[in-house]
Structure 1
Amino acid sequence: MKTSESITELTKALAQFQANVKQPEKDGTNPHFRSKYVTLDGTVKAICECAPNHGLSYTQMPISKENGIGVVTVIFHNSGQFIEFDPFILPLDKKTAQGVGSALTYAKRYSLSAAFGIVSDEDDDGNESSGNTNNKNQIASDKQLDLIKNLIIKTANSTGSTEERVHQSLKKHIKKDLEYYSPEDANKAIQLLNQYSKKGA
Structure 2
Amino acid sequence: MQTSESIKQISVALLGFHKEVPTISKESKNPFFKSSYADLPTILKAINPVLQRNGLVVLQFPEGESGLTTRLLHSSGEWMESTYTMKPVKATPQDAGSAITYQRRYAIGAILNLDIDNDDDGNSASGKGEKQPANNTSNMSELPWLNEGSEEFKKAVTYLKEGKKISAIEAKFRISKKVREILLTNAA
Question: Above 0.5 in TM-score?
Answer: yes
Which aligned pairs between 1:37-52 and structure 2 lie closer than 5 A? 37-52=37-52
Aligned ranges 1:171-182 → 2 under 5 Å: 174-176=153-155, 177-179=157-159, 182=169
- 1:102 maps to 98
Secondary structure at 2:101's aligned position in 1? helix
Give the root-mean-square deviation of aligned CA atoms.
Answer: 3.1
Distance 2:176 2:100 in 1: 23
Which ranges of structure 2 fall in alignment gaps of 5 or more residues?
A: 128-146, 161-167, 184-188
Identity among equivalent positions (%) equals 30
Instruction: Give 1:75's aligned residue.
Output: 72
Contact persistence 1:43–1:118 (CA under 8 A): no
- Identify unmatched segments of 5+ residues in structure 1: 138-169, 197-201
SS in 2 for 1:175: helix
- Answer whether contact 2:35 2:118 (CA < 8 A) is retained: yes
Aligned position for 2:130: none
Question: Partner letter of residue 67 of structure 2?
Answer: G
Q: Distance in 1 between matches of 2:79 and 2:12?
A: 12
* Aligned residues of 2:32 and 2:159 also touching (Cα < 8 A): no
- The reply to whether residue 20 of structure 1 matches residue 10 of structure 2 is no
Q: Give the aligned partner of residue 192 of structure 1.
A: 179
Distance 2:49 2:124 in 1: 38
Give, in angstroms, the shift of residue 183 of structure 1. 4.7
Partner of 2:36: 36
Mapped pair 1:88 → 2:84: yes
| 8 A Cα contact 2:17 2:51, kept in partner | yes
Alignment coverage as a number of residue pairs = 155
Relative to 1, partners in 2 of residues 1:4 and 1:134: Cα closer, same or farther, differing over 3 Å?
closer
Give the 5 Å matches for 1:122-161: 122-124=118-120, 127-128=121-122, 133=123, 135-136=125-126
Question: Which residue number in structure 1 is paired with residue 8 of structure 2?
Answer: 8
User: Aligned residue for 2:141?
Assistant: none
Aligned-partner Cα distance in 2 for 1:190–1:46: 41
Higher helix share: 1
In structure 2, the CA distance between the partners of 1:83 and 1:24, relative to structure 1 (3 Å rule), is same
Q: CA deviation at 1:189?
A: 6.9
Q: How far off is 1:79 after superposition?
A: 0.8
In the superposition, the TM-score normalised over structure 1's length comes to 0.65
TM-score (norm 2): 0.69
Change (3 A) 1:116 1:94: same
Q: Is the 8 A contact 1:4 1:82 kept in 2?
A: yes
Shift of 1:103: 0.9
Distance in 2 (alpha carbons) for counterparts of 1:58 and 1:11: 14
The answer for the alignment partner of 2:54 in structure 1 is 54
